[in-house]
Homo-oligomer: A and B are copies of this chain.
Amino acid sequence: MQENLKYEIPENIRKKISRLKVLGPTSSYAYGHIQANLVIIDKTVAFDFLSYSMLNPSPCPILEVLEPGNPYPVKTASNSDIRYDLGKYLIFKNGKSEVVENIEDYWTKSKVTFLIGCLFSMQKQFEDSGIIIRHLNEKKTDPTFISNIPTNSFGIFNGPMIVSMWPINKNNITKAITISSRLPSVHGRPIHIGDPGFIGINDIEKPDYGDIIKLKHDEIPVFWGCGITPQLIAKQKNIDMITHHPGNMYITDLKTSEMEII
């Protein structure tokens, strides 16, 4: 079931997602609100992961951290249970992942939930300034790539940065930089602009995750850090982790406009 949830309020979207399993991608949902990547790990590695995130604010800007065993967000949403309120989850174990629709059976008192900003949150700000969001217009998820940019390691966490690519009209590059720089909580400024090869991406039409978006002749590829970077670490380092399924984000109550810095 796909509905137009662009102007629905976040709490209602979360209810539809948890009860009716209205599945994403959520890019077109809750326009103007903050969407989040989900990472749930055991409390024994929570300090390492939080420190890693703080060292890598481009891919992993932390919106909220919950206490061990608490599945109820406080800062980012109310009346929400992280175990049910996303459309699809990935359960990483021994370097492999499986897809589930809720995480009731995987929840324990030692699970620590991290909510990490998502670039979808910026879409209204971009469109309000006249920037075309190609993946929205084409009803797709944005393409993401494993780059050759190393992240800063902490403890067991390290690996290459995953990046999102949005094609931006060459006349709008400055606007895109300005708007995104004001939103560090949802990835902030671009990590690279222009040359995919320079950051280790050989073919811009072969994303590692998400959909293909072909660049138009007057567009430049703009790259931002991406919050699925931890999923690659879970896979490469055999770390037990529960995450959202790429594109199926957690919809928060926060308005993006409230998260802008001066």
Interface of A with B (CB < 8 Å)?
43, 46-47, 50-51, 54, 62, 65, 67-68, 112, 154-155, 261-262
- Enumerate chain B residues within 8 angstroms of A112, measured Cβ to Cβ: 47
Known pairs A47-B47, A51-B65. 6 more at Cβ < 8 A? A46-B47, A47-B112, A50-B51, A54-B65, A67-B154, A262-B262
Known: A54-B62, A262-B262. A155 touches B47 (CB 8 A): no
- Interchain residue pairs with CB less than 8 A apart (15): A43-B47, A46-B47, A47-B47, A47-B50, A47-B112, A50-B50, A50-B54, A51-B65, A51-B67, A54-B54, A54-B62, A65-B154, A68-B155, A261-B261, A262-B262
Min Cβ gap A24→B in Å is 28
Distance, CA A231 to CA B262, complexed state (A): 33
Distance, CA A155 to CA B66, complexed state (A): 10
- Enumerate chain B residues within 8 angstroms of A62, measured Cβ to Cβ: 54
Distance, CA A22 to CA B262, complexed state (A): 41
